[in-house]
Structure 1
Amino acid sequence: MTAIQIKPKRPTRMISSPEQALSVAHELAQAFRVDASRRDRDRELPFEPLEELFASGLGAITVPLKWGGIAVSTAVLAEVIAILSEADAAIGQVPQNHFYALEVLRVNGTQAQQQRFYREVLQGVHLGNALAEFSSPSAHQRTTTVLENGGHYLLEGRKFYATGALFADRIPTAARNAEGQEQLVFVPRHQKGVTVIDDWSGFGQRTTGSGTVIFEAVEVDVEDIVPFQRAFERPTAVGPVAQIMHAAIDQGIARAAFNDMLLFINTRSRPWPDSNLARASDDPLTLDRTGQLAARLQAGDALLQEAGEVVDLAQLDPHEQSVAAASVSVATVRAWTTEVALEAGNLLFELSGTRSALREHNLDRHWRNARTHTLHDPVRWKYPVIGNYVLNGVLPPRRGTL
């Protein structure tokens, strides 16, 4: 079969600098923020906002210079994700897998594959994902296969937690070949035999489209198959790039919860009982908790910037030590933003009360989003790896979850 060329849904802008990327992210965030609460409350899937996002040119900001992109730094990529996640955490999470697939393409794709897929992305094509499975005994074992069959390949399997697949143009899918080696198959979303089911029922991140994808005898061209496993058989920055975006999502959620907490206190608080009619904003305990959280949020911004710089070094000169340093630096910020996002959601509840969860407020969405997303590669995996590296010099394992 002939490799399929995917066409974008609408004309796409070109972004020419990191500064413009951040400016466009802020513009989109301002628009996305308006209906974010309603989308979460009514589980209204963000098809149009995501089309706007990829038509804006943001989906192409990591395309290498040689292929016509601007190859923004990892810190800029993380800040773009955080800005979008602060406005709408579900929208902010969806492009994470898109950029992850592009990093796999960068380190493992052939010249021809890079040229073709990067051209699509520059035109506004959106990449989803189909990696995780329920049927395998662990997260790193997958049963989906892509096997040769009379001059082409057939993809067979069932995936879950396929964030973004519902909205995507292509669905990069983890599958094993006849030798048991894992591949990343850039499957066209509307290829015959591909079924995407909207059955995600999580109580947070409700509109990420993280449901089921089924592949039944899906014909695949060999040019759509990129080696996946090799990205972890040698030192590459694929894992740290994936994880720093998750840290940025949590940082965005924390910012949103903190800002809504300030707004709630300043506009809706009433005189507190037994406090000489002091407002919540004058209460010393509230001031203390608010100050602590503000400092922790600022630290999260700094850790994202620092980790981004370490990841950039690993991308430029990938070897065991540079990739290990990137993994540990990203694990540090991931652990930090996990805790801060949960703390921000908790403090918002604590200071605003249970009425904040009423339909007209829907402020509980920040805690729900934080609690749901922080279960993605749990923080308990991070600290032992960091400690073993710091105390014993043991290099962390190379994988997409670290």
Structure 2
Amino acid sequence: MGTVTDTRIDYTVHPRVNSNDPVAPRPRPATPAHVIQSDAEAIEIAERLAERFKVNAALRDREGLLPITELDEYSQSGLWSINVPKAYGGPEVSYATVAKVISTIASADPAIAQVTQNHLAIIATVDLDGTEEQKQLFFGWALQGLRYGNAFSELKSKTVADFETRVIHDGDDIIINGEKFYATGALLSHVVPIVGVDESGQGYLVFADREAPGLTVTNNWSSFGQRTTASGAVKIENLRVPKVRALKVTSFDHPTVGGPVSQIIQSAIDAGIARGAIDDTISFVKTLSRPWIDSGKQKASEDLFTIAAIGDLKIKLHAAEALLEIAGRTIDAARANSTLETVSEATIKTAESKVLTTEIAILATNKLFELAGTRSTLAEHGLDRHWRNARVHTLHDPVRWKFYHVGNYYLNGEHPPRHAWN
């Protein structure tokens, strides 16, 4: 249930969100991360970690405490390299398994799950666009346990796909300048991949050390939801890196699974938020809620309308999770044989899953209070975090456009656009 059960927090290693206190770069792992051997092992580890992460999830949200020790355990578990190809020493699990892992972690703490999102998407980008030297380097770092943050989106640009961050080619180096926001994971990462464009408009993903001179990460994320993702700002001032660290992004110029991979992770987070909210609803109704006076029942869990509502939530959740798995399988197929048709199928199935996971996340987090009753709104339970997290996270990649692309595909045979937000 959502009630805080353990308040033993060491505030010296759990800095607060949106504070003026500096957060030092995380030390690189002293030992390599575990390498997972199978899909089943990945799911088992995710379930075990989720049990631990949910213990203080409400406390971290209420106090704005960054999940530093949790992220260290998470990335050392091997779950941050599950989509590294087998040819480079990784597990290369199914994307259905990736979605299951992320939704499992998100059911415990969706902020922790979201920090993984860009890291896994970056690994997929390296797989699609990296040179052989870059694959050896960046996959190797992930297998060692290094975390990739992100410096992608910009607060002042016209759209999410417009980048003002500039890349300059200077001999054997790249120089990059710009400002970023929504930089989930950058604060607590070891390496910060930065999106920038050169004078010709070519996009690059530039891998900078978190502690590199010219890179400043600000802990100023102030959203009312997903509070502990540390999705603040990054300032890049004459940052210089070797050219081998500048990955030329071309995967959206032709059919690839880059977009669906990014999207299925977002969809999985929303599915996890929904599952966590439904689990807390059931627990609260069974243990703390009072039956309504007109029901004639002795327990809130015996109320006919409540029973039916829980049934409705579970059916919708299971439908969303089933479509999430289907989407993962279509991504696997498209990755193995990337054509316009297979990639469009993966994009559409992932979009369909995003619609259902968004809808059940909003519904479940709202219904929680209706079914559990007024006492479920008390601050001591921290259950409002579910709705706040759902409302904020589902704003990524708006589903109103998913309906359009899905309908246009089936009705008019129009292939969906290719970009990281689709």
TM-score range (shorter-chain normalised) is over 0.9
1:399 is paired with a residue whose SS is coil
Q: Does 1:177 align with 2:198?
A: yes
Please, which of 139, 142, 160 is the counterpart of residue 181 of structure 2?
Answer: 160
Partner AA of 1:361 in structure 2: H
The more displaced of 7-16 and 208-217 is: 7-16
Residues in 1 aligned to 2:47 and 2:355: alpha-carbon distance in whole angstroms: 26
Partner AA of 1:77 in structure 2: V
**Are the structure 2 counterparts of residues 130 and 278 from structure 1 closer, same or farther at C-alpha, using a change threshold of 3 Å?**
same
Please, which of 207, 219, 223 is the counterpart of residue 186 of structure 1?
Answer: 207
Question: For the Cα contact (< 8 Å) 1:272–1:278, is it kept in 2?
Answer: no
Q: Does 1:57 align with 2:86?
A: no
The more displaced of 171-180 and 79-88 is: 171-180
Question: For the Cα contact (< 8 Å) 1:133–1:158, is it kept in 2?
Answer: yes
Residues in 2 aligned to 1:10 and 1:52: alpha-carbon distance in whole angstroms: 13
Q: Does 1:203 align with 2:233?
A: no
Aligned-pair CA distance for 1:69 = 0.8
TM-score (ref. length: structure 1)? 0.96
Aligned-pair CA distance for 1:14 = 2.0
Could you list the runs of 5+ residues in structure 2 that have no partner in the other structure?
1-25
Q: Does 1:109 align with 2:103?
A: no
TM-score (ref. length: structure 2)? 0.92
Please, which of 225, 233, 236 is the counterpart of residue 212 of structure 1?
Answer: 233
Partner AA of 1:379 in structure 2: V
The equivalent residue for 2:143 is 122
The equivalent residue for 2:405 is 385
Cα deviation per residue 1:96-118 (whole Å; 9 max; x = unaligned)? 10010011100100000000111
The equivalent residue for 1:269 is 289
2:54 is paired with a residue whose SS is helix
Q: Quote the RMSD (CA, aligned, Å).
A: 1.3
How many residue pairs match? The answer is 396
Residues in 1 aligned to 2:297 and 2:408: alpha-carbon distance in whole angstroms: 52
The equivalent residue for 2:7 is none
Question: For the Cα contact (< 8 Å) 2:177–2:236, is it kept in 1?
Answer: yes
Aligned-pair CA distance for 1:150 = 5.0
1:360 is paired with a residue whose SS is helix
Partner AA of 2:276 in structure 1: A
Question: For the Cα contact (< 8 Å) 2:174–2:246, is it kept in 1?
Answer: no
Please, which of 329, 332, 336 is the counterpart of residue 309 of structure 1?
Answer: 329
Aligned-pair CA distance for 1:191 = 0.6
2:381 is paired with a residue whose SS is coil
Alignment of 1:343-358 (within 5 A): 343-358=363-378
The equivalent residue for 2:29 is 9
The equivalent residue for 1:3 is none
Residues in 2 aligned to 1:336 and 1:271: alpha-carbon distance in whole angstroms: 31
The equivalent residue for 2:115 is 94
The equivalent residue for 1:74 is 95
2:295 is paired with a residue whose SS is coil
Could you list the runs of 5+ residues in structure 1 that have no partner in the other structure?
1-5
The equivalent residue for 1:292 is 312
Residues in 1 aligned to 2:386 and 2:53: alpha-carbon distance in whole angstroms: 15
Residues in 2 aligned to 1:178 and 1:306: alpha-carbon distance in whole angstroms: 41
1:232 is paired with a residue whose SS is coil
Question: For the Cα contact (< 8 Å) 1:81–1:248, is it kept in 2?
Answer: yes
Aligned-pair CA distance for 1:151 = 4.0
The equivalent residue for 1:224 is 245
Residues in 2 aligned to 1:361 and 1:51: alpha-carbon distance in whole angstroms: 27
